[in-house]
Amino acid sequence: MLTQLDQLLDAIKADYGRWSKNLTSPRQEMIDEFNARIRVTEGKKYIKVIQGTSVWGFIVKEDGGKFRKGDILKAAGWNAPAMNQARGNIIDGGYTIQWTGPLYL
């Protein structure tokens, strides 16, 4: 799952790079800062993806209840994911995300 998590982080960074091409300011500095500020922390049930001071989303660590290992969940707040529906799965692939977070349903 670590490989798929790295691929997700790369996809987030790439989407930011595509978005920033529309800006007129010095883009490379912004891209480098964005990339440097993206990180993950691991809790009991979820891996939290953080960009700067915001939670990008959560990744489910183990199968259980409504969700499967690798499911991408939108953030409901700093400490909890939205529990309505997964936005994709990093193990299965084929998910759609943006640098701002998992896409809405």
pLDDT digits over 6-65, tens only? 999 999 999 999 988 877 776 788 899 999 999 999 999 999 999 999 999 999 999 988
Angle between helices 2-20 and 27-36 (to 10 degrees): 160
Determine contact, residues 74/66, Cβ cutoff 8 Å.
no
Q: What is the pTM of this model?
A: 0.91
Note the pLDDT of residue 105: 62
